[in-house]
Chains A and B, each alone.
Chain A
Amino acid sequence: MKGKKINSNTLLLLITIALFFVMYIAGCVVYANKGFTHLQTFLNVLINNAGLLCVACGMTCVMLTGGIDISVGSLIAMDCMFLAVGMERWGMSAPLLCLLVLVIGLVFGAVQGFCIGYLEIQPFIVTMAGMFFARGMTAVISTDQVSISSNQFFVNLANMKFQIPFGAYTNSKGVLQIPFVRITVLIALVVLVVVFLMLRYTKFGRSLYAVGGNEQSATMMGLDVKRTKLKAYMLSSFLCSIGGICYCLNTMSGSVQQALGLEMDAISSAVIGGTLLTGGVGNVIGSFFGVLINGTISTLVKTNGKLLSSWSNIAVAALLCFFIVLQSIFAKIKESKK
């Protein structure tokens, strides 16, 4: 049997992985004196983007069906605000709140999924309404910036360090620095693995690909397309809520302006990671690298120190644009081959 040929889709993924390494190594060379080479810098990229990684996994699933979910950033803001206000003002317990957040995510996703799957409304319109709705609801809960400090359980959870037995170094003051990750990274990596396995080994996972590949065929082959879409959006919002908890553990606060434009980061991560906008092709491993690229860009901008933070927005947008154009060109080549 022949080995699998490299087609345009795997090529896109390879470009992404290569791009990440080039970018990271370039960062190591240019900013070597600013500690870019330390393992901790890389781990910080993971820590800072744990929430994004969860969201990107959900986004990938939705995009596989040929849809999109731009409500994620606002949903995260709503989750964070709910957690913060719940703990600080209503004095509720952290685990209960987290559970509630996940339930809210499921319901939110179910409504969006119903509109998209069963009412056949364009995903973009539905999730855009969802985006404004969630952002508005955040303001309904509170318009203040609420910091979480009183809930000991949550604070402890956020401060937990998981040390890594290698890559330690002594800093300029002579203190030994042991690299570590936060619990959010562990959560995100579990999500990544679970979603990866789900996409590969469950009927639902394969249905996502089938629906994105050819909706009509999927129906003809006896798959319930509407239900698959409903579930996809539920999954996206659910994973987004997990991401929201991670995000909250990182920022320890809630505000209306939080996670502004995160949907863009999630979509660009998925697209950069080789998920086709037309659906049917993609993988969370690619999205993982997409997230890493996103994180590396903002870390580079931050490490530089002189650049405005807008630059990282622009760089991500430019990169998204580049990959969209690339996808479109590949699609055209494929078409002409037929």
Chain B
Amino acid sequence: MSNVKKITGMRLFLPIFCMVLVMAVNILYDVASGNFALNFFTISIRNGVLYGRLIDILNRGSEIAILAIGMTLVVSASAGTDISVGSVMSLAASFCCMLLAGYGVSSTTDLAMPLIAGVLGGILLACVCGAFNGFLVAYLNVQPMVATLILYSAARAIGLLLCNNLIVYVREDSFKTIGGYLGFIPTPIVIAAVCVVIVAVILKKTALGLYIQSVGINKRASRIAGLNSSRIIFLCYVVCGLGAGIAGVVAASRISSADSNNIGLNYELDAILSVALGGNSLGGGKFNLAGSIIGAYTIQAITTTLYALGVSSDVAPVYKAIIVIIIVTIQAPPFKAYMKKRSAKKALAKGGAAA
């Protein structure tokens, strides 16, 4: 009993448990459909690039992982979530493609300006969006989700305006590389890894992690202890915007186009789910970046598995929504108190029976 508790009490229990569960489902599926049982784990090289379901999950999950970084910080510092990330992704993608193709051009094979300028432009605009959210939350004390609701609905519309209501195609190889392959490794995996490492190093080498958690747990006390609470919250939103920008550019490059209506659709749910699945409380405070990252890939694994099981992309959110509700219910204090009471009663009944 106590051993079980020790394991379930571990910080990374929830995300790893879910990951194992998803793998088990995959093995069962493969066995049931008569494939090789460990198909899920097989990695091979085809056409000179890595190939396999695991690689696919790592690759497709890159955007969510990048978003999850920013989302983790935002949740921790402000006890609210940024629901604009999907839309901001789309905006960044649109702006990036618009810069690369030139305004009003719907398809191009030549870049109108250097690749780096377009990419940075997209990312910068996303940072501005993050700063806008951060300003509302940190300095005007607007509830995070209401503040980000503004861009949640406006960012896509702005993206459409930037692209003149067109789907802008940028069919150019250097641009395609971002969402394609670097040698034999999918580039998004590399980008996500670099982002994670950079953030992890910053958290390790500076006091940022302590500051964010402190502000998230008790904003007023942190101010008295000399932290600039507002600035820290603001910073988290900018980082979240930055992440959304990078994810947006990657997503655009994958399909060599800026499809304002579809890029980043429902990604806010995935990002928030990653954070919750990573064992972080959506009520803010303590955070665990590793958990969120594992959570992100778990979500992608769930998505991929759902698709493999024949669930359409329109229906997939149903399952994810149910998972969110289950996780937050488990985290909810009244639920915890209820379970505690029940187990106490059970123990009492047991004790009574023994006596």
In the complex, chain A residues 260-307 whose Cβ is within 8 Å of any chain B Cβ: 261, 264, 267, 277
Task: Name the residue in B149, B156, B333 with the highest tally of chain A Cβ atoms < 10 Å from its Cβ.
Answer: B149
- The one of B142, B153, B317 in contact with A133, judged by C-beta atoms closer than 8 angstroms, is B317
Binary flags per residue of A104-115, CB closer than 8 Å to B gives 1, else 0: 000000000001
Question: How many A-B Cβ pairs are below 8 Å?
Answer: 126
The answer on a CB contact under 8 Å between A310 and B161 is yes
The 10 sampled A-B contact pairs (Cβ below 8 Å) are A68-B145, A119-B332, A121-B332, A128-B269, A136-B317, A313-B153, A313-B156, A317-B157, A328-B142, A329-B140
Decide yes or no whether B52 CB sits under 8 A from chain A. Answer: no
- The one of B136, B149, B317, B332 in contact with A132, judged by C-beta atoms closer than 8 angstroms, is B317
The answer on a CB contact under 8 Å between A124 and B80 is yes
Stretch binding the partner chain, chosen from A50-58, A215-223, A318-326: A318-326
In the complex, chain B residues 308-346 whose Cβ is within 8 Å of any chain A Cβ: 312, 314-322, 324-325, 328-329, 332-335
Task: Name the residue in A126, A136, A267, A316 with the highest tally of chain B Cβ atoms < 10 Å from its Cβ.
Answer: A136
Decide yes or no whether A308 CB sits under 8 A from chain B. Answer: yes
Chain B residues with a Cβ under 8 A of chain A: 80-81, 83, 136, 140-143, 145-147, 149-154, 156-158, 160-161, 165, 266, 269, 272, 282-283, 312, 314-322, 324-325, 328-329, 332-335
Contacts of A131 in B (CB 8 A): 321
Chain A residues with a Cβ under 8 A of chain B: 68, 70, 115, 118-122, 124-126, 128-133, 135-140, 143, 256, 261, 264, 267, 277, 308, 310-311, 313-314, 316-318, 320-321, 324-325, 328-329, 331
Nearest B residue (CB) for A136: B318
The answer on a CB contact under 8 Å between A324 and B142 is yes
The answer on a CB contact under 8 Å between B149 and A133 is no
Contacts of A261 in B (CB 8 A): 153
The answer on a CB contact under 8 Å between A136 and B145 is no
The answer on a CB contact under 8 Å between A122 and B161 is no
Contacts of B316 in A (CB 8 A): 136
**How far apart sit A119 and B329, CA to CA, in the bound complex (Å)?**
7
Closest approach, in angstroms, between the C-beta of A306 and any C-beta of chain B? 12
The answer on a CB contact under 8 Å between B312 and A314 is no
Nearest B residue (CB) for A137: B318
**How far apart sit A118 and B147, CA to CA, in the bound complex (Å)?**
26
**Ranked 5 nearest A-B pairs via Cβ:** A136-B318, A139-B314, A317-B154, A310-B157, A132-B317
- The one of B140, B321, B333 in contact with A328, judged by C-beta atoms closer than 8 angstroms, is B140
Q: Besides A115-B325, A310-B156, 16 other CB < 8 A contacts?
A: A70-B149, A115-B328, A119-B335, A122-B283, A124-B81, A125-B282, A132-B317, A132-B321, A135-B317, A140-B315, A143-B314, A308-B160, A314-B157, A324-B140, A325-B140, A328-B140
Closest approach, in angstroms, between the C-beta of A133 and any C-beta of chain B? 4
**A interface, over-half SS:** helix
Closest approach, in angstroms, between the C-beta of A136 and any C-beta of chain B? 3
Closest approach, in angstroms, between the C-beta of A95 and any C-beta of chain B? 28
- The one of B149, B312, B334 in contact with A120, judged by C-beta atoms closer than 8 angstroms, is B334
The answer on a CB contact under 8 Å between A324 and B154 is no
**How far apart sit A306 and B140, CA to CA, in the bound complex (Å)?**
36
**How far apart sit A137 and B142, CA to CA, in the bound complex (Å)?**
32
- The one of A118, A120, A125 in contact with B81, judged by C-beta atoms closer than 8 angstroms, is A125
Nearest A residue (CB) for B140: A328
The answer on a CB contact under 8 Å between A308 and B269 is no
Task: Name the residue in A118, A120, A130, A321 with the highest tally of chain B Cβ atoms < 10 Å from its Cβ.
Answer: A321
Given contacts A129-B325, A132-B320, contact A139 B315 (CB under 8 A): yes
**How far apart sit A203 and B165, CA to CA, in the bound complex (Å)?**
50
Given contacts A124-B80, A308-B161, A318-B154, contact A136 B315 (CB under 8 A): yes
**How far apart sit A15 and B324, CA to CA, in the bound complex (Å)?**
40
Given contacts A128-B83, A324-B146, contact A264 B153 (CB under 8 A): yes
The answer on a CB contact under 8 Å between B334 and A139 is no
Task: Name the residue in B81, B152, B324 with the highest tally of chain A Cβ atoms < 10 Å from its Cβ.
Answer: B324
The answer on a CB contact under 8 Å between A264 and B149 is yes
Contacts of A320 in B (CB 8 A): 149-150
Nearest A residue (CB) for B135: A325
Contacts of B315 in A (CB 8 A): 136, 139-140
Contacts of A133 in B (CB 8 A): 317-318, 321-322
- The one of A128, A310, A324 in contact with B158, judged by C-beta atoms closer than 8 angstroms, is A310
The answer on a CB contact under 8 Å between A324 and B321 is no
Contacts of A318 in B (CB 8 A): 154
Closest approach, in angstroms, between the C-beta of A319 and any C-beta of chain B? 10
Closest approach, in angstroms, between the C-beta of A226 and any C-beta of chain B? 9
The answer on a CB contact under 8 Å between A115 and B324 is no
